[in-house]
Amino acid sequence: MKFFSQYKEEVTYAISSMTEMLRTAKENRYAVGQYNLNNMEFTQAILQAAEEEKSPLICGVSEGAARYMGGFEAVVQMVKSYMKTYNVTVPVAIHLDHGSSFEACAQAIHAGFTSVMIDGSHDPLEENIALTKRVVEMAHAVGVSVEAELGRIGGQEDDLVVDAADANYAIPEECERLVRETGVDCFAPALGSVHGPYKGEPNLGFKQMEEINKLVGLTPLVLHGGTGLPVKDVQKAIEYGHAKVNVNTESQIAATEAVKAVFESNPEQYDPRKYMGPARDAIKETVKGKMRDFGSSGKAK
């Protein structure tokens, strides 16, 4: 029995809430990246990158990606399995990105997600607050962290497309009210970033960002649309309280370019390992670079 208890301790790889990692990041002025999982190779690459960089990690999973990968439970089991395979010792959270409803958040939590985002940003403020409060009450009862959003972030996330003309900056006073009344663990105010590649020059609202950060106090802020932003802008956002930065499109582009390069050099290639392997390597290097940019490398020693 002693042998089995020791063995069990050695192979248990727990996933964490992101609450503590983000509080620590905000206090020490760095950010933890949320890197979205899209398939097996993304999962492998992102976990390997985090362990090699000794960085805390948030694995983001959209509802669409979860369906593609076999459901919420399949995602959790895949992450846990690869944590064991690669001996991942850094803190890892599995986060529902842009949860569309109370029910979706409940399903993710039931499957083992340790964090959820409830996206009520398309609703009027009162409805957003009411929905977010319901999710917070449910999640906090089982130790799961919650992210909320206010304002409209442009670009495309899964099947949701927000035209740049319809995007808007979050209002600082409304942000303070939502955070105070809901008790969320982190908060994403729309301040000029977009999902997907930028068309034109990024224009982050640093003035509003600074004001919102002061109003919400210790609550970490979240920057959506980290792809394509100049590093100096991201680092300035971190100085203004952003402790979580979301990255997906840049990893997807890196993977796609790696696959293209394989077929350009060998058009007859048909073994998926021969083109998805380089894609995985490209994702890993992209994520490692972001971890260094965000200042999270070495923070999980």
pLDDT in tens, 284-293: 999 999 999 9
Our answer to whether residue 97 is catalytic in this structure is: yes
Set 97, 185, 233, 293: catalytic member: 97
> Is residue 148 over pLDDT 50?
yes
**pLDDT cut 90: percent of the chain above it:** 80
Is residue 12 predicted with pLDDT exceeding 80? no
Residue 294 reports pLDDT greater than 80: yes
For residue 15 the two structure tokens come to 């996933």
pLDDT at 164 over 50: no
Q: What is the pTM of this model?
A: 0.89
What is the distance between the alpha carbons of residues 254 and 251, in angstroms, rounded to a whole number? 5
Mean pLDDT, to the nearest integer, of 182-189?
Answer: 97
Mean pLDDT of 55-63: 98
Q: Give residue 7's pLDDT.
A: 46
Query: Is 8's pLDDT higher than 60?
Result: no
pLDDT at 153 (0 to 100): 53
Q: What is the pLDDT of residues 189-243, one digit of tens each?
A: 998 756 445 455 567 889 999 999 999 999 999 999 867 788 999 999 999 999 9
* For range 258-275, the mean pLDDT: 98
pLDDT of the residue at 10: 53
